[in-house]
């Protein structure tokens, strides 16, 4: 069941609710993750972006974890 989630900014001793906004472009999220993959995991190293697959598709971000497993991020 979906629910609402609030984001708060701490200003001194007060909390201020931050209005949520729709992410305009998937590419912005992809760039944020490429530059700082720790936003989703501290265990991934990004090794490729917009990687073509042998099946005619494209992977947004390709990574590898500490055990050598490939990690695929695709919208």
3-class secondary-structure state, position 28? helix
In a domain, 13, yes or no: no
pLDDT at 1: 44
Domain that holds residue 45: 24-73
Per-residue pLDDT tens over the stretch 12-67: 899 988 877 666 677 888 888 999 999 999 999 999 999 999 999 999 999 999 99
pLDDT at 30: 87
In a domain, 38, yes or no: yes
Contact 16, 3 (CB under 8 A): no
In a domain, 50, yes or no: yes
pTM listed for this prediction: 0.63
In a domain, 16, yes or no: no
| Domains contained in the chain, number | 1
- List alpha helices for 1-75, DSSP H: 26-35
In a domain, 11, yes or no: no
């Amino acid at each position: 069941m979906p629910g609402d989630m609030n984001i708060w900014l701490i200003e001194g001793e007060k909390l201020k609710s931050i209005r949520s906004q729709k992410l305009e472009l998937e590419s912005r999220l992809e760039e944020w993750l490429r530059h700082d993959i720790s936003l989703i995991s501290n265990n991934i190293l990004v090794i490729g972006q917009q990687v073509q697959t042998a099946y005619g598709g494209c992977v947004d971000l390709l990574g590898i974890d500490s055990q050598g497993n490939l990690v695929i991020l695709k919208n």
